[in-house]
Each structure stands twice: as C-alpha cells, then as structure tokens.
Amino acid sequence: MAKRLKNTSGQFGTTPVFMASICTILGAILFLRFGYAVGHVGFIGALGIILLGHAVTIPTALAVAEIATNKKVEGGGDYYVISRSFGLNIGAAIGIALYLSQAISIAFYIIAFAESFVPFGAHLNETYQLGAIGHLLESKKVIGLGAMSFLTALMLTKGANIGVKALYAVAAILFLSLGMFFMGESQISLSDVSFVSSIENSDNFFYVFTIIFPAFTGISAGLGLSGDLKNPKKSIPRGTLIATIVGALIYVMVALKLVTSTSLENLANNQLVMSDIAIWGPIIPIGLACAAISSALGSIMVAPRTLQALGKDQIFPSKKFDAWIAKGREQDNEPINGSIITCIIAYFFIYVGDINFVAQIISMFFMVTYGAICLISFLEHFSGDPSYRPTFKSKWYISLLGAILSVWLMFKMNTSYAVLSILFMTAFYYYISKNSGDKREIVSLFRDVLVQFARQLQIFLQKGEAIERSTTHWRPFVVSISSSIERPNAFNMTKWIAYKYGFGTYIHYIKGYLSKQNFQEGKQVQKQLLIENKASNVYVDTLISPSYTSALAQVVQLSSISGKENNLILLEYCEDELESFEDVISNFNLLQATGYDVAILRSSNTKADNKEEIHIWISSRDYENSNMMILLGYMIHGHPDWKNAEIKVFSIYTNDEEFDIYRDRMFNFIETGRLPISPRNLHMVPQKEGESVKTIINKNSKNSDLTIIGFRNELVKKQKLDIFEGYNKLGNVLFVNSIKEKDIE
C-alpha cells in the first residue's frame, strides 16, 4: 500500500504559485524562439499557436483547480493529483514520464540561458582579449554546464526557499524587459506589415507548435510547489488561472509588436530579434538570461519533489532506492537525494541535446500529462463518486476538449515520439500494476461512469415504456430461474436468446430462509457463474426463498436491469426429474396473470448436443405461439454457438386446404427474408388418421439438437404434466407459450 505523502511546513501562499507559473510562461521561449515562430507561421499562425496551446492548458488549469479543491493536495504536484484520482498504477506511469519531462526541462532552460549569454561572452572576449578563457565564454556547452553546476550547488545547499525568493527578482526583470520591448520603435512602415503571410520555405505549423509549446506549461511549475503551500486548495487554482490568462494576453501582445516592428525574415533568422526592437537592447539578453535561469530554477524545484513523491509511493523495483529518494532533509523535507538524480539527468541533456530536440521531448511528455488531467476531470463529472466534491468545478465539455486536443496534438507534433511515449507509459503501467499493492485500476473510474450512464438510460427507457407500452417489434427481455448449478442448460438458453436481440437475466434459486450461510453461498454461486461465463451478456443474480412459489412470485416482480420490463420467463427441468417440475405447472396461472410469455426448457441427459439442427413445429392450433417460436429460433440461431446449425420448420396439416394456407405463409416469410432458412428446409407433414402429433414430432425430429414446440393455456389446465411428456426420442425441447401473437414483420 502506498505511503501517505508527508507534507512540509507549508510556508508559501498564492503569490509563489503565480510567480513560478508566469516566470515559466514568460520564459526562454518568449525571448528566444517566439520571433522564429511568428516569422515561420505569420501573425495569424502565431495566434493559432497561442490559441491551440491555451486550448490545452486552460482546460488543464481549470481541471487542476477542480481536482485541487477536492482532495488534500500534498507534495508531488501533477503526479499527486493524477495518482490520487486514477490510482497509483496509472498515476505512476504518467508520473515517471512527467518527472523526466520536468528534469529535461532544466536542460532546455539552461541551453536557452547559454544562448543568451553567448553574445555577452563574445563582447567580453572582444573587449578584453581574454584568450582561451574568452573562447570558453563563447561556448554554449561550457556556459550551460557551468550554469547547471551553479544551480546544483544552490539547490543542494539552499533548497526551495532561495528559489522562491529569486522568483520575485526575476519577475521584476522580466516585466521590465517586456516594458522596454513594447516601448521600442518599429523598424518598418505600416504598409510593409503583413498579418497573414509568412516567410518562404517556412517550417511546418505543428513542428513550430512543438518548439513553442513548452512556453505554455507554466501551470506545472506552480502546481509542483503543492507540498510547500499553506493552503494548496486556494493557492493553486488562483495562482495557475491568473498566470495562464496573463500569459496568454502577453503572448498576443508580443506577437502583434513583433509583426509590426520588423520583417518576417528577421524574425525567422534572428534569435535575439527582440533586442533589436527594445529601446535598450541589452535588457533582452538580460531578461532572457533571468527567464531561463528562473524557469530552470522552477523546474529544479519541482522535478525532485515529483521524484520524492514517486519514491514515497514505492513504485521502483528497489525498496532501498525508494526509501533513498523519498527521504527529505530533516528540518524542511527538502528532497536532496531527488535533486542529485535530477541534476545528473539535466547534465546529460545539456551535454548531448540541442534546444529544438529537447523542446520536442518536453512537449510530448507534458501533453500526455495534460491529457490525463483533463480526462480525469471529464470522467469525474459523470462518475457520481460521492467523495468527489470540489469547491471549484470546471465544465465537462471543457475538460473533454482538453483531453481530445492533447491526444490529437501528440500525433500531429511527432507521431513517432507519440507512439514511443505511449509505449513507454504502457510498459511502466504494466510493471507497476503487477507489483503495486494498490489494486485500483483505470477501469474503476470508467466503470463508475458506465454505472451512472446505465442508471440514466434505465430511467429514460422506463419513462418511455410508461408512455408507450406496445412496440412494433417484439424483442425478448428474458428472466430465467433455475436451482441447478451443475446443469448449465437454462443459463445457455438465456444467453442464446439474449445474445443480440434482447436482454437476459439469470436467477439462481436457493431454497431456504435468508441467513448468513445462505447469503454467502449465493454470492459464491454468483461469482462462480460470472467466472465460468465471462463472455456472456447475461446479468447474473441469486435468490433465496423458502419455496419455489414464493421465488417465482419474487422473480416476476423484479425490475429488469435493462430499464425495460421483463416479458419472457424461462423455466427449466430435466427429463428424469418430472417431480421437481410439478411446482412449475402448479404456478402456471401465476405467470399468465402477470402477462409473461413462458418458455419451458426440457433438458435431455441422454442425447448429444451437437448444435447442428433447430426444428420448429407449427400447427393450426398454434396461431398465437407460431410467430414467437419462429422468432426465438431465429434469435438462438444468431448465437455463435449455433453458427453451423440449420433451422427447419415443420408444419402439420390434416387436409389440402391447411396445406395450401401454411405453405403459402411459410414461403412468403422465406421470400421476404424474414426466415433465415432455405425453402428445402420447410417441411409440410401430413397427419394421418389416428396418428398423434407427438408421434409425428418424435419421428421427424429425433436427430434435432433443439426442438421448439408450442403449447396452449387450456391444455396446461386440463393435462398438466402430460402435455410435456411423450417426447422421449428428442433431445432438448423448448416449449413456448405466447400471451398474444407476435408480429414477425
């Protein structure tokens, strides 16, 4: 079982959440790559990128605000939110991907810082002739590794406190840089401004979007401080939503300023184009450096906390490793060990990766995380979980939009990376689900949604049934009751009838009074039936009652789980157990009074059931039963168990007039496609004088695997059990009694 995440002293309020988010949003991408984006896709394309990016991040921000106001949010940020809503299995799979994206983000921002520092290093070398040292100051890799070393030392010695304090200074420099940029004069005339066009041979829109998207991931920076906040339920929604809205407005304003200040070619090819536009150029590299360092600082604060939360949930193979990364500094729970691993990963990507490559990896992992958060929010709206009571609520369609867009954009950005990221998380999910003590699965949330949907559907169907009782086409809503667990015939017949055209409920009857022992027996039988019949679409339940009559009375009053009333009851007995079937016949009037159609299955213990032939016997005295018998034969034949079977229809006639009437009727059904049989399988059987109907049926259907025969109400009253006897040469027999004629159209 996962350990409870221990919270820290919680010394921060809403402002650090806003600062961490806005400093990431208005970070390296804005100063270093946004001009490139405007040049390659134009102003309208840039607005499209901003709109599309925020179409993912705003639903995510709203979903984060919603989930954060439902449960106590502790250390671990995004990972904590996902794992406590979806369970540790899926949460850990996404959490490890999220952690890697956060750790790699550090490298991304350090590389951006190095690019901003290169012009300054070149100026120092040119001015002071620094020689070998000067050349080092012009090396992006050397500057990046040096900056990373500084950040590593800072985090390992000072922790999050120094990071949060630095955010205020960085934010001030960022807004000063942007102010000086907006105050800069345009380098082109208004007549040369184009809001629609882009440069020739421009990069693909979605490739550009992939490079820019990390700019919109600032909500994770604020959420990652969850374990250090006094009131996460208040601070996270306010801080992330305000930062997201402010960031979106600033990006639109920057795009407009860029396109009206210089040419598209200059935007596309000059990484520090904002420096040329600002009233004091050096402020832009300074702002870029501060933005990059602050974003790296934000990521280096968040990533170790995500790793620490994963360790506390014991998701890694080694328990010693889990304990090592979960351990925090004694006085403030600072994740020192997690910071060490995070810095090593960042060093690696600084050494081997360029900024565009790293941006694509970050975008992909963040997109997966955002899609999962939006999906959680969407499903929780419909799950009906009483424990889900957020004080802030987003709209389900907003969350659904965020989830769909996230998945779609993953494949538009880079199909190969999308597939690899999904495979990576699937493999990790498989591993953690095999080893985790948490048995909650992703299907649990989907199951809750389906339960609520089924409930609403049942109510809708019931209301519709109350308005219109009669339907044009009859379909079976069959309920079966049987006390035999060893003989599956009744269950099988229920699943055959309900396979495609109706709905089936199977009730296992236990004779006796309700007690703890009988109740447990009923649950065990129900479990056994469900396990043995996983592939069936039959609803299974048990019923404990002191007599068969009382059990039958309870069953006919049951509400169908489908939302429609049950209309057909299926009873079953064995050919050598007629005594037990006397209860069925004695209660036949009860079934008739409640308006049920009745099907009685006589199971054979002697004849092999090969499922090759279904025989249906029609007679002039079966006017009300005949159509229902034909329909049931057709429905049973539609089940895969009977896919190789033939339906044969037999009609008994006593004179030529009856022959013509039944022949014409049956052939009409065949020609119009209402009977799935060949004309050669329609048999008109004459009844000779003195020959009984049972004799004719025994003679012609001795090789049948299922024989369907009609019976009438008045004969049950007069002959009782006799009408079901005398079919000793047949296999399984289904006796059918219809309350009224069914329409076979």
**What's the confidence (pLDDT) of residue 131?**
66
- pLDDT over 90 (residue 707): yes
pTM: 0.66
**What's the confidence (pLDDT) of residue 402?**
93
Q: Are strands 597-603 and 732-737 parallel, antiparallel or unpaired?
A: antiparallel
Taking phi over 0 as left and psi of -120 to 50 as alpha, with beta for the rest, 479 belongs to beta
- Rounded CA gap, 625 and 711, in Å? 8
More confident call, 654 vs 177: 177
φ, ψ for residue 145, nearest 5 deg: -65, -35
Q: Is 651 in contact with 685 (CB distance < 8 Å)?
A: yes
User: How deeply is 362 buried, as exposed, middle or buried, from its count of CB atoms within 10 A (0-12, 13-18, 19+)?
Assistant: buried
Over range 389-399, report the average pLDDT. 83
**What's the confidence (pLDDT) of residue 14?**
79
Over range 690-713, report the average pLDDT. 88
Identify the band that residue 3 occupies on the pLDDT scale cut at 50, 70 and 90: very low
- pLDDT over 60 (residue 64): yes
SS3 state at 688:
coil
pLDDT in tens, 155-177: 777 665 565 666 778 788 888 99
More confident call, 637 vs 584: 637
Identify the band that residue 258 occupies on the pLDDT scale cut at 50, 70 and 90: very high
Closest by CA to 596, choosing from 622, 566, 630, is 566
pLDDT in tens, 368-387: 888 888 887 888 777 766 66
**What's the confidence (pLDDT) of residue 4?**
42
Taking the CA atoms of the chain, what radius of gyration do you get in angstroms? 37
Which tokens sit at 669? 């059904």
- pLDDT over 50 (residue 434): yes
Which DSSP string do the residues of 378-412 spell out, in sequence order? Answer: HHHHHH--TT---SS---HHHHHHHHHHHHHHHHH
Most confident of 11-20, 27-36, 174-183, 711-720: 174-183
User: What stretches of 26-75 show up as alpha helix (H) in DSSP?
Assistant: 28-32, 34-68
- Rounded CA gap, 219 and 242, in Å? 10
Which tokens sit at 315? 């998701």
pLDDT in tens, 414-427: 888 888 887 887 88
- Could you tell me the domains of the chain? 14-438 (1.20.1740.10), 470-737 (3.40.50.12370)
Share of the chain above pLDDT 70, in %: 81
**What's the confidence (pLDDT) of residue 335?**
86
**What's the confidence (pLDDT) of residue 228?**
64
pLDDT in tens, 276-311: 899 998 888 888 888 787 778 778 878 888 898 888
**What's the confidence (pLDDT) of residue 366?**
83
Which tokens sit at 689? 């004088």
**What's the confidence (pLDDT) of residue 188?**
85
Over range 620-639, report the average pLDDT. 82
User: What stretches of 87-159 show up as alpha helix (H) in DSSP?
Assistant: 88-128, 132-137, 140-157
Closest by CA to 113, choosing from 341, 287, 309, 303, is 287
More confident call, 53 vs 316: 53
- pLDDT over 90 (residue 657): no
- Angle at alpha carbon of residue 507, lines to 501 and 509, rounded to 5°: 155
**What's the confidence (pLDDT) of residue 8?**
44
- Rounded CA gap, 219 and 24, in Å? 9
Q: Which amino acid, one-letter code, is at 196?
A: V
Q: Is 392 in contact with 67 (CB distance < 8 Å)?
A: no
Over range 251-264, report the average pLDDT. 93
SS3 state at 653:
strand
Closest by CA to 301, choosing from 159, 111, 101, is 159
- Rounded CA gap, 167 and 429, in Å? 36
Give, in order, the Cα–Cα distances in Å from 123 to each of 117, 177, 283, 285: 10, 20, 15, 13
φ, ψ for residue 597, nearest 5 deg: -75, 150
- Rounded CA gap, 229 and 696, in Å? 86
Least confident among 107-116, 317-326, 668-677, 731-740: 668-677
Q: Is 55 in contact with 249 (CB distance < 8 Å)?
A: no
**What's the confidence (pLDDT) of residue 5?**
42
**What's the confidence (pLDDT) of residue 500?**
81
- Rounded CA gap, 463 and 443, in Å? 30
SS3 state at 203:
coil
Q: Is 642 in contact with 496 (CB distance < 8 Å)?
A: yes
Over range 2-21, report the average pLDDT. 62
Over range 476-480, report the average pLDDT. 89
SS3 state at 686:
strand
Q: Which stretch of DSSP H or E encloses residue 647? A: strand 646-653
- pLDDT over 70 (residue 348): yes
Least confident among 217-231, 416-430, 489-503: 217-231
Over range 32-55, report the average pLDDT. 92
When the pLDDT of each residue in the chain is averaged and rounded to a whole number, the result is 80
More confident call, 268 vs 447: 268
pLDDT in tens, 438-466: 655 556 666 666 666 666 666 566 555 54
Q: Is 636 in contact with 609 (CB distance < 8 Å)?
A: no
DSSP state of 566: P
Give, in order, the Cα–Cα distances in Å from 66 to each of 60, 236, 284, 392: 10, 10, 37, 5
φ, ψ for residue 562, nearest 5 deg: -75, -15
